[in-house]
């Protein structure tokens, strides 16, 4: 049995830089036609020059694989219209991080006063730049996304022409915003479709399942599964694959991030097949994103075969999601 996906897209991807980029980019570039590339490098990407150079490094390391890195800017309230207009030729979205909320987000937004953010949001609305948001407060960790709902609502109602993507949603209480506001969209990761707090720490503690936002409750997972399996038209797949070297994950003070890139499509196939929803996978991993972002990725057929796939224990110096496990599907790549 085979599933052939047309130009699958990963709408939320961390590729890092340097040796790590070199190590991980192939896992995404082989199986996806394109991806939205997160800008939280050290320092974060805030200039066109940096973005062009980073994109070049990505393509160089991808070694000729057919793969379009859709670049993003790290949100700053100081950006002006002229800068964003020029940036529009090089980026698809501007990624907003609340300050300090996750890896390399220290330079993010501290104050969600709409008057302070109005200039940038109005320019983005006019230019058709997507606002991509890591929506968490610094409150109690299980409620951080829920506590951010007010900010999402405030932005959505104040800037009706701004396309807002709630990145890696995890909470049933933020998922309701998809129905409430025309201009709110979302990405969903693989790991939030598969795991809950119980998997993270219900038995022994699993540092390789530690990410931000953290995995949530079974009820939250069920709501996310419904969105993904039904290919809700406002919902896109975004892996949030975020590699850290093994020594930063198995230590005292574990870095947040799950390296899922090597397994995302096989694991999604397994999940969608289990619930009899393979027919919806194409929309979830590509068609919805193409419409929401208005993009035409390179034509690329990705073939998933129902054939045992033993996930490697380590990819370079990074432990992947499902390390050492057997998945039911494997990825092979055709060409468009």
What positions carry a catalytic annotation? 240
CB 186 within 8 A of CB 171: no
What distances in angstroms separate CA 90 from CA 69, 73, 87, 164, 294, one per listed residue?
Answer: 10, 9, 5, 19, 15
Cβ closest to its own copies, residue 87 vs residue 255: 255
Q: What is the bridge-based pairing of β-strands 9-13 and 2-6? A: unpaired
Contacts of 144 (CB under 8 A, 6+ apart): 101, 136, 137, 138, 213
Helix axis angle for 48-62 and 18-31, nearest 10°, is 70
Give min distance, CB of 214 to its own copies, in A: 6
Half-sphere exposure of 167 (CA within 13 A, CB side): 29
Give min distance, CB of 88 to its own copies, in A: 35
CB 186 within 8 A of CB 175: yes
CB 69 within 8 A of CB 59: yes
CB 185 within 8 A of CB 292: yes
Cβ closest to its own copies, residue 12 vs residue 208: 208
Give min distance, CB of 97 to its own copies, in A: 15
Cis amide prior to 334 (ω within 30 degrees): no
Give min distance, CB of 90 to its own copies, in A: 33
Neighbours of 206 (CB within 10 A): 14
Cβ closest to its own copies, residue 202 vs residue 336: 202
Give min distance, CB of 196 to its own copies, in A: 7
Phi, psi of 273 (to 5 degrees): -65, -45
User: Given the rule CB under 8 A, which residues bind its own copies?
Assistant: 140-142, 196-198, 200-202, 204-208, 210, 214, 217-218, 249-256, 319
Phi, psi of 250 (to 5 degrees): -115, 80
Tell me the C-alpha distance between 289 and 66, whole Å. 18
Give min distance, CB of 199 to its own copies, in A: 9
Cβ closest to its own copies, residue 156 vs residue 209: 209
CB 54 within 8 A of CB 42: no
């Amino acid at each position: 049995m085979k599933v052939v996906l047309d130009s699958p897209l990963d709408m939320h991807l961390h590729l890092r830089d340097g040796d790590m980029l070199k190590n991980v980019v192939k896992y995404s570039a082989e199986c996806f036609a394109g991806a939205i590339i997160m800008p939280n490098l050290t320092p974060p990407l805030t200039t066109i020059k940096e973005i062009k150079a980073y994109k070049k490094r990505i393509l160089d390391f991808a070694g000729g694989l057919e793969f379009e890195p859709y670049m993003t800017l790290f949100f700053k309230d100081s950006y002006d219209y002229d800068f964003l207009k020029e940036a529009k030729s090089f980026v698809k979205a501007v990624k907003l991080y609340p300050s300090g909320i996750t890896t390399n987000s220290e330079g993010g937004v501290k104050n969600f006063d709409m008057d302070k953010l109005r200039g940038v949001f109005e320019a983005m609305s006019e230019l058709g730049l997507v606002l991509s948001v890591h929506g968490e407060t610094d409150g109690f960790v299980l409620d951080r996304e829920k506590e951010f709902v007010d900010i999402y609502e405030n932005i959505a109602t104040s800037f009706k022409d701004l396309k807002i993507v709630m990145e890696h949603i995890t909470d049933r209480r933020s998922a309701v915003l998809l129905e409430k506001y025309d201009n709110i969209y979302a990405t969903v990761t693989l790991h939030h479709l598969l795991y809950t707090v119980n998997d993270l720490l219900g038995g022994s503690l699993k540092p390789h399942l530690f990410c931000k936002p953290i995995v949530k409750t079974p009820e939250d997972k069920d709501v996310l599964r419904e969105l993904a399996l039904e290919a809700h038209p406002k919902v896109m797949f975004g892996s949030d694959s975020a590699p850290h070297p093994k020594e930063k994950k198995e230590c005292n003070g574990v870095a947040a991030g799950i390296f899922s890139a090597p397994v995302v499509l096989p694991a999604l196939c397994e999940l969608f097949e289990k619930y009899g929803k393979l027919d919806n996978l194409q929309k979830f991993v590509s068609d919805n994103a193409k419409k929401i972002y208005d993009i035409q990725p390179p034509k690329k057929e990705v073939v998933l075969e129902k054939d045992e796939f033993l996930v490697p224990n380590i990819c370079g110096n990074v432990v992947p999601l499902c390390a050492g496990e057997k998945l039911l599907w494997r990825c092979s790549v055709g060409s468009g």
